[in-house]
Amino acid sequence: SWGSVRNAVSEAPNQSYKREPRPHTARFLSLVLLEKRNSGRSTAFGLKASSLKHLKMMSEKRKKVEALTRELELPNDVLLKVSAKLLDEFNKGLGRDTQESAEVKMFMTYVRDVPNGTETGTFLALDLGGTNFRVLLIDIDGDRFSMKNEIYAIPQEIMLGTGEQLFDHIADCLAKFMDKYKVKSKTLPLGFTFSFPCRQEGLTSARLVTWTKGFKCSGVENQDVVQLLRAAIAKRADIDIDVMAVVNDTTGTLMSCAHKNKQCRLGLIVGTGTNACYMEKLENVELWDGDYDEPRQVIINTEWGAFGDHGTLEFVRTRYDREIDQASLNPGKQLFEKMISGMYMGELVRRVLVHLAQQNLIFDGKLSEKMKTIYLFKTKYISQIESDARGEYDEARNVMVKMDMVATDEDCECLKLVCSRVSSRAAHLVSAAVATILNKMKRPHTTVGVDGSVYRFHPRFHFLMEAKIAELVNPQYKFDLMLSEDGSGRGAALVAAVAVRSKKK
């Protein structure tokens, strides 16, 4: 998780759809309302003419910056091409004979139903998907629930160590948590959110396909992560836990939002990584090996972060995307994710800025050591910079101070442009992918449950997505975006609760 740059926009991302005024419209209105340009003379709104000087910043340099970053803008015809290619990959991933060669694996989760309001009991949830993990104790009574949770860090040496070290650390934190909340003597059902690409073999069995998001623990890939967790717990002998389900954060988000909104059938994450899941009809899942009892549906974990890994996205990737991929822990993998997620967005901006400085188009061509250092320009800085009002640069200057950079107003204006283009591209790519699923599901109305630091904290991401999905989806399929308030951990407990409910049948 990165930063908490909240504002009115990110506080209420479930508001009804409002289209923002386009920048050129706002600029035109500002000019029309300007009465006199004499320095210090007020305008119709009491603004000083000097405060609108940024409107004249279309210098030669600025024009060149706009031209050099235009490749980051993706018009709708390009986004529709992305959507068509993604749909092909979805269908390949669902096909018995084509899944192996598909970029997008469309893993079955074995989760067949959303909460119906009759679930009851006390559950543990474990949420692992980034540099921190959460342990939760949740009491569910139909539509009501109460929750206690603690966040634990995963040190870098454990992220890059052995699988045994990782799961021992998790079991240790679980024991401390149960001790603190005085439930150590109880046998509790646990829902495990494990947010890495896994091939599920049942509700309580998932093999890690590949590590992502900076993890490289040895001895875990191709292993069943539930077995590894159970082994670490059994070794301790001081806690008794019944793992009822393993899900990823998208499924957790879908379940968490469906508990509150009965139309939620799509879960989306735009945070450190990006991924989505949705409810698919069993008749479309050729690899389904379970029963065909009602409900004849299953949540599919798309693992769309790997879209493009076999070359299908070369028509939209830029030099910056290729540089980031080559320098990453997993070159050639998760290429769609690397164009979108919080792990890489700040670094994308930094690489664009370095390129512009080398052309002497920004910062007088001078770069600090910090600006030359990979991953030091944090993704949260983009949210800060874009939260400045038009023509104001307070947050941009604060970020530049942190980066040991000296920036003029014109530099700040170019910086905002670069941030805006990188974040807009990310939002538009995600929107194309969401529209692909909505068009595939063909539901009259679908709520999309969304979580992740990029969506939650970026000041425009929700609105960019809402507007772009509306342009790309078939107009007969209505949608709304719902922020998941409780994260994916509560969703994992709900999966466990639904599993317990189904067992009682």
Q: In which region does residue 466 sit, left (phi positive, over 0), alpha (psi from -120 to 50) or beta (all else)?
A: alpha
One-letter amino acid of 350 = R
CA-CA distances (angstroms) from residue 254 to 44, 269, 436? 48, 10, 17
How far CA 161 is from CA of 167, 196, 302, 323, 349, in Å, comes to 11, 17, 28, 26, 30
Instruction: Classify 285 as helix, strand or coil.
Output: coil
Q: Which of 249, 309, 321, 388 is catalytic?
A: 249
Q: Is there a catalytic annotation at residue 213?
A: yes
Helix (H, G, I), strand (E, B) or coil at 391: coil
Specify the amino acid at residue 33. L
Q: How far apart are CA 443 and CA 456, in angstroms?
A: 26
Which amino acid is located at 298 in the chain? V
Q: How long is the chain?
A: 505
Q: Which amino acid is at 289?
A: D
User: Order of strands across the sheet with 132-141?
Assistant: 144-153, 132-141, 120-128, 187-194, 240-247
State the catalytic residue, choosing from 213, 333, 380, 416. 213
Cβ atoms within 10 Å, residue 73: 12
CA distance linking residue 202 with residue 495, whole number of Å: 13
Check residue 47 and give left, alpha or beta (phi > 0: left; psi -120 to 50: alpha): beta
Q: CA–CA separation, 437 vs 103, rounded Å?
A: 16
DSSP string, 286-312: TT--S--PSS-EEEEE--GGGTTTTST
269 closest CA partner among 134, 448, 442, 403: 448
- Tell me if 490 sits within 8 A of 24, measured CB to CB: no
Structure tokens at 236: 């301790």
CB-based contact 234:226 (threshold 8 Å):
no
Q: Could you tell me the two tokens for 141?
A: 């009574």
184 is catalytic: no
Catalytic residues, which ones?
213, 249
